[in-house]
């Protein structure tokens, strides 16, 4: 199987434009046209994971965290990042990361946390803006249905849990072609008035190329009138963190023990418990302290995440229980999620989970 076949599928699930600006998701090492024999999935790409890939015959490593976050100016093996990249290149092993883009999708990392905690009615905690556009075009009545269908098929008109969404308004257009024109209707040099349908559809920015191809191939006019608008609307199915409801409300300490057990956490650092019982819960895999205000605004009774600094715990101000269970602990089930995603599509592909524990933090009890 070609590497591009795997990466294209992963990016259809978690598009690269969903990642945060600081991130480096995508293909880090490798040729998209290289043949992949087998893949190894891990949370982190460290040297012992590359060694495992070599020993097990895997020439692709898929991880959640990118091995390269910042630009590499030299490759001389002076640190673990350079050593990993060099070893991968020497052994013709491709490295692929699917990080904050997988965090951001509705079926990604945070959804898996919600699933383990038994949360229901979940939704994105902080939806992302700037990833939606609107296409407006004008088409003769007779061809409007065909055009709408083609645009839907290309990815336009999906809003939340609904597909094939469009707005259509009746009107007429006028045009007059010159001697070099070849009008679909009307005559050269004569103004023509045509009854048309104004078609509007929202679409995700990553689908724009396919949508414009569908527009150009299915619109009957020689010169197509269309407008593209950048929307500031937030995409309610894409963004940071998630929030949902426990099946029943719980005492604060009982809830923390539930979190420790379900998330297989070694320790739970938490703020003072609030007087009310825990029912609504916000979560964020990895470093989530930036979402504390959103969690409070959403009415969450508790916020499960990692990497809170000392002074940030004070910001709870007895409005919410912060439970910091560790970065690795919030994301340790991501490898299983990736394995399931890939196996669902490529049922006969050789893929395995790493046997290495890549958590760099140890605990003394």
Are residue 12 and residue 88 in the same domain, yes or no?
Answer: yes
Split at pLDDT 50, 70, 90, the class of 71 is confident
Binding residues: 64-65, 103, 327, 331
User: pLDDT tens for residues 219-264?
Assistant: 999 999 999 999 999 999 999 999 999 999 999 999 999 999 999 9
Answer yes or no: do 185 and 140 share one domain: yes
Please write the tens of the pLDDT for every residue from 193-229: 999 999 999 999 999 999 999 999 999 999 999 999 9
The whole-number average pLDDT for the span 76-89 is 95
In this prediction, residue 142 carries a pLDDT of 93
Binding-site annotation: residue ranges for a divalent metal cation:
64-65, 103, 327, 331
Residue 122 shares a structural domain with residue 246:
yes
Which residue among 176, 205, 231 closes a domain? 231
- Please report where in the chains the tokens 């009774």 appear, as a residue: 301
Asked if residue 320 and residue 343 are part of one domain, the reply reads: no
Joined tokens for residue 244? 């949902």
Asked if 158 and 304 sit in the same domain, the reply is no
Q: Which residues contact 142 (CB under 8 A, 6 or more apart)?
A: none
Q: Same domain for 225 and 138?
A: yes
Question: Is 34 in the same domain as 87?
Answer: yes
Residue 188 has pLDDT above 90, yes or no: no
User: Is the pTM here over 0.95, yes or no?
Assistant: no
Shared domain check, 157 and 219? yes
Instruction: Note whether residue 362 is domain-resident.
Output: no
Domain with residue 164: its CATH number is 3.30.70.120
Question: Are 93 and 59 within 8 A, CB to CB?
Answer: yes
Which of 209, 231, 253 is the last residue before a domain boundary? 231
145 — pLDDT class (breaks 50, 70, 90): very high
- The answer on 199 and 119 residing in a single domain is no
Give the closest residue to 310 by CA, choosing from 335, 289, 332. 289
Whole-angstrom CA distances from 27 to 14, 30, 32, 182, 259 are 13, 7, 8, 45, 34
Point out the domain boundary residue: 181, 199, 231. Answer: 231
Please indicate, yes or no, if residue 221 is contained in any of the structural domains.
yes
- Cα angle 284, 134, 211 (rounded to 5 degrees) comes to 95
Report whether pLDDT(29) > 90: yes
The verdict on 82 and 95 lying in the same domain is: yes
* Whether residue 67 is found in the same domain as residue 135: no
pLDDT at position 32: 97
Q: What is the pLDDT of residue 73?
A: 86
C-alpha 218/C-alpha 351 separation (Å) is 40
Residue 91 to residues 55, 60, 65, 67, 174: CA-CA distances in angstroms? 11, 11, 21, 16, 63
364 domain-assigned: no
Q: Region 100-124: what's the mean pLDDT?
A: 97
Is 363 inside any structural domain? Answer: no
How many domains does the chain contain in total?
Answer: 3
What CATH number does residue 73 fall under?
3.40.1390.30
Give per-residue pLDDT as tens, 84-109.
999 999 999 999 999 999 999 999 99
Q: Cα(213)–Cα(232) distance, rounded to whole angstroms? A: 24
pLDDT band for 24, please (50, 70, 90 cuts).
very high
Structural domain boundaries, residue 65: 3-103+331-353
pLDDT tens, residue by residue, 147-161: 999 999 999 999 888
């Amino acid at each position: 199987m070609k590497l591009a076949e795997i990466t294209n599928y992963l990016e259809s699930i978690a598009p690269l434009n969903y990642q945060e600006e600081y991130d480096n998701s995508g293909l880090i090492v490798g040729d998209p046209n290289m043949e992949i024999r087998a893949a190894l999935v891990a949370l982190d790409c460290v040297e012992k994971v590359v060694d495992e890939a070599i020993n097990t015959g895997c020439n692709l490593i898929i991880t959640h965290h990118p091995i390269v976050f910042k630009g590499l100016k030299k490759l001389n093996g002076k640190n673990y990042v350079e050593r990993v990249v060099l070893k991968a290149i020497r052994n013709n092993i491709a490295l692929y990361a699917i990080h904050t883009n997988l965090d951001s999708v509705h079926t990604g990392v945070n959804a898996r946390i919600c699933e383990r905690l038994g949360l229901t009615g979940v939704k994105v905690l902080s939806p992302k803006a700037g990833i939606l556009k609107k296409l407006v075009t004008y088409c003769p009545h007779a061809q409007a249905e065909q055009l709408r269908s083609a645009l839907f098929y290309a990815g336009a008109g999906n809003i939340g849990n609904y597909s094939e969404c469009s707005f259509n308004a009746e009107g007429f257009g006028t045009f007059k072609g010159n001697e070099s024109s070849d009008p679909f209707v009307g005559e050269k040099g004569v103004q023509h008035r045509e009854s048309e349908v104004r078609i509007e559809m929202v679409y995700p920015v990553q689908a724009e190329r396919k949508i414009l191809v569908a527009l150009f191939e299915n619109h009957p006019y020689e010169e197509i009138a269309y407008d593209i608008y950048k929307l500031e609307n937030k995409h309610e199915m894409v963004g940071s963190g998630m929030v949902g409801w426990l099946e029943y409300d719980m005492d604060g300490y009982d809830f923390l023990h539930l979190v420790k057990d379900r998330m297989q956490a070694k320790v739970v650092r938490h703020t003072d418990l609030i007087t009310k019982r825990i029912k609504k819960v916000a979560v964020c895999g990895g470093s989530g302290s930036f979402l504390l205000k959103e969690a409070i605004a959403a009415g969450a009774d508790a916020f499960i995440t990692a990497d809170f600094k000392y002074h940030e715990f004070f910001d709870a101000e007895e409005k919410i229980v912060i439970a910091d269970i560790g970065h690795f602990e919030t994301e340790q089930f991501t490898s299983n999620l990736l394995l399931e995603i890939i196996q669902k599509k490529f049922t006969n592909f050789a893929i395995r989970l790493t046997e290495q524990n890549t958590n760099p933090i140890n605990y003394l009890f």
